[in-house]
């Protein structure tokens, strides 16, 4: 078994980005600038945004964080989006999800300028990605595809099973793995909460990508020998033996499943770190106008 180490892979990607940024700025161009809108005090969201700010500093980006209270109105969020859409110094920005229930996430996402939508959630970017046109790809699927490439995982003609059909991970991941490219070209099955006999699909998978949100859902008896397992889930599980009173785990029972795999991502230290690095990569693409042009 080989670990698909997100810490090493994300560090490599950020090193590459920093070299590009240094060359870009040395040629007289502006520093890339990533902004984020954070609504409320969700602990996981705050941690994620802080990680993005740190990554910006590491690669030489400017960063801006707009914090709004949990009770901020939808109009206030829209005003913040319009402000960033119209700010020529901002190359890309995100609205950190999830949002409080009184705010319509779909409406908010659609109001982001597609050219600055470095999270890849806008319908224009989703449509372009689906059609194989240049687009900002949602950061988690983008990170997974880059990790497969970095570790030279053979995907050609393999059966890829994706568990979870969210617009953020599962659905775009299934599309990307079916693309006609070196680290794709899979036959893809997309499974979800209504899939019957899920275990049989999992056992047929050469590549199993799990984005379900249920702690340690996938066990050893669901995975065939030699499979590649990508664990996208991250859940805090109560554990009074730990100093913080909890442990962080994924959707896969790592201890069991890792004994059967050819490759597996850990949680933490796997896909999450590549998600942040991929968002930074998208922002560099936005700065250089490599997706939409001038």
Q: Do residue 45 and residue 89 come from a single domain?
A: yes
User: Cβ contacts of residue 32 below 8 Å, gap of 6+?
Assistant: 21, 24, 60, 61, 62, 91, 92, 283, 284, 286, 287
Q: Tell me, what's the pLDDT at 188?
A: 98
The verdict on residue 176 lying in a domain is yes
**pTM (two decimals):** 0.93
Cβ(118)–Cβ(286) below 8 Å: yes
Say yes or no: 46 and 145 in one domain. no
Closest CA to 219 of 247, 248, 199: 199
Q: What is the pLDDT of residues 33-81, one digit of tens each?
A: 999 999 998 877 888 888 899 999 999 999 999 999 999 999 999 999 9
Print burial letters for 45-62: b (CB count within 10 Å at least 16), e (below 16): beebbebbeebbeebbbe
Q: Read off the pLDDT band of 240 (50, 70, 90).
A: confident
The reported pLDDT for the residue numbered 292 is 92
pLDDT for res 245:
81
pLDDT at residue 212, as a whole number? 93
Q: Average of pLDDT values for 19-29?
A: 97
Residues 38, 108, single domain; the answer is yes
Verify that 194 and 161 share a domain, yes or no.
yes
Residue 60 lies in a domain: yes
Q: Has residue 123 been placed in a domain?
A: no
Tell me, yes or no, if 96 is annotated catalytic: yes
Does residue 278 form part of some domain?
A: no
Shared-domain flag, residues 154 and 211: yes
Active site residue 231: no
Residues 203 and 256 in one domain: yes
Q: Which of 5, 91, 117, 119 is catalytic?
A: 119
Q: What CATH number is associated with residue 48?
A: 3.40.50.10860
Q: Which residues of 129-157 are buried (b: 16+ CB within 10 A; e: fewer)?
A: beeeeebbbbbbbbbbbbbbebbebebee
Q: 35 - beta bridge partners?
A: 64, 93
Asked if residue 150 and residue 223 are part of one domain, the reply reads yes
268 in any annotated domain: yes
Are residue 56 and residue 180 in the same domain, yes or no? no
Shared-domain flag, residues 96 and 222: no
pLDDT reported for residue 44:
77
Maximum pairwise Cα distance, the chain: 58
Q: Does residue 119 have an active-site annotation?
A: yes
Are 114 and 159 members of one domain? no
Domain that holds residue 104: 27-118
Q: What is the pLDDT of residue 264?
A: 98
pLDDT tier, 294 (very low <50, low <70, confident <90, very high otherwise): low
pLDDT value at residue 270 = 95
Is residue 222 situated within a structural domain? yes
The domain boundary residue, chosen from 118, 152, 173: 118
- How far is 164 from 173, CA to CA, in rounded Å? 10
Output phi, psi for 37, to 5 deg.
Answer: -110, 120
> Do 33 and 153 have their domain in common?
no
Whether residue 71 is contained in a domain is answered as: yes
Q: What is the pLDDT of residues 80-135, one digit of tens each?
A: 999 999 999 999 999 999 899 999 999 999 999 999 999 999 999 999 999 999 99
Q: Is residue 258 part of a domain?
A: yes
Q: How many CA atoms lie within 13 A of 110 on its CB side?
A: 6
Tell me if 67 sits within 8 A of 74, measured CB to CB. no
Runs of H (alpha helix) within 90-231: 105-110, 123-130, 139-150, 170-178, 198-203
Annotated catalytic residue within 91, 96, 146, 251: 96
Q: What CATH number should be reported for the domain holding residue 191? A: 3.40.50.720
pLDDT in tens, 128-166: 999 999 999 999 999 999 999 999 999 999 999 999 999
- Do 186 and 256 lie in one domain? The reply is yes
Residues 6+ apart with CB under 8 A from 35: 63, 64, 65, 66, 84, 87, 90, 92, 93, 94
What is the domain count for the chain? Answer: 2
- What does the pLDDT average to over 253-258? 96
* Annotated catalytic residue within 5, 14, 52, 281: 52
């Amino acid at each position: 078994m080989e670990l698909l180490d997100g810490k090493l892979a994300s560090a490599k990607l950020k090193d590459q980005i920093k070299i590009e940024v240094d060359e870009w700025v040395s040629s007289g161009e502006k520093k890339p600038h990533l902004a984020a809108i954070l609504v409320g005090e969700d602990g996981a969201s705050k941690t994620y945004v802080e990680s993005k700010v740190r990554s910006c500093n590491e690669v030489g980006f400017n960063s801006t964080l707009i914090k709004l209270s949990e009770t901020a109105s939808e109009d206030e969020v829209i005003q913040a989006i319009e402000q960033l859409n119209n700010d020529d110094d901002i190359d890309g920005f995100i609205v950190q999800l999830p949002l409080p229930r009184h705010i319509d996430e779909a409406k908010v996402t659609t109001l982001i300028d597609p050219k600055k939508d470095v999270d890849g959630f806008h319908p224009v970017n989703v449509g372009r990605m689906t059609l194989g046109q240049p687009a900002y790809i949602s950061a988690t699927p983008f990170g997974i595809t880059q990790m497969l490439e970095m570790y030279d995982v053979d995907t050609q003609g393999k059966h890829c099973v994706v568990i979870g059909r969210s617009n953020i991970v599962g659905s775009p991941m299934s599309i990307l793995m079916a693309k006609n490219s070196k680290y794709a070209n899979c036959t893809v099955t997309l499974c979800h909460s209504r899939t019957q006999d899920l275990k049989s699909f999992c056992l047929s998978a050469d590549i199993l990508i799990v984005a379900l949100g249920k702690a340690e859902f996938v066990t050893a008896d669901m995975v065939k020998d030699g499979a590649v397992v990508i664990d996208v889930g991250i859940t805090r599980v109560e554990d009074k033996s730990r100093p913080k009173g909890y442990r962080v785990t994924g959707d896969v029972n790592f201890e069991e499943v890792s004994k059967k795999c050819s490759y597996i991502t850990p949680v933490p230290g796997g896909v999450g770190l590549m998600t942040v690095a991929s968002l930074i990569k998208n922002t560099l693409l936005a700065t250089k106008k490599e997706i939409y042009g001038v």
